[in-house]
Chain A
Amino acid sequence: QVQLQESGPGLVKSSQTLSLTCTVSGGSISSSDYYWSWIRQFPGKGLEWIGYISYTDGMYYSPSLKSRVTMSVDSSKNRFSLNLSPVTAADTAVYYCAGALTGTALNYYYHYIDVWGKGTTVTVSS
Chain B
Amino acid sequence: SYELTQPPSVSVSPGQTGSITCSGDKLGDQYVSWYQQKPGQSPVVVIYQDSKRPSGVPERFSGSNSGNTATLTISGTQAMDEADYYCQAWDSRTVVFGGGTKLTVL
Contact = CB atoms under 8 A, between A and B. Distances in A.
B44 A116 contact: yes
B29 A108 contact: yes
A89 interface: no
A46 B97 contact: yes
- Classify chain A: how many residues form its interface, as a range: 20 to 34
Contacts of B100: 45-47
B96 A113 contact: no
A114 B57 CA distance: 13
Contacts of A46: 97, 99-100
Interface in A47-87: 47-49, 52, 57, 60, 62-64
Interface string B1-45: 100000000000000000000000000011101010000001111
B30 A108 contact: yes
A100 interface: yes
A109 B45 contact: no
Interface of A: 37, 39, 45-49, 52, 57, 60, 62-64, 96, 100, 102, 105, 108-114, 116-119
Q: Considering the complex of A and B, which 6 residue pairs feature the smallest CB-CB distances, nearest first? A: A111-B90, A112-B33, A49-B95, A110-B31, A116-B42, A112-B48
Given A112-B33, A119-B42, 5 more contacts: A109-B30, A109-B90, A112-B48, A113-B43, A116-B44
Interface of B: 1, 29-31, 33, 35, 42-45, 48-49, 54, 84, 86, 88, 90, 93-97, 99-100
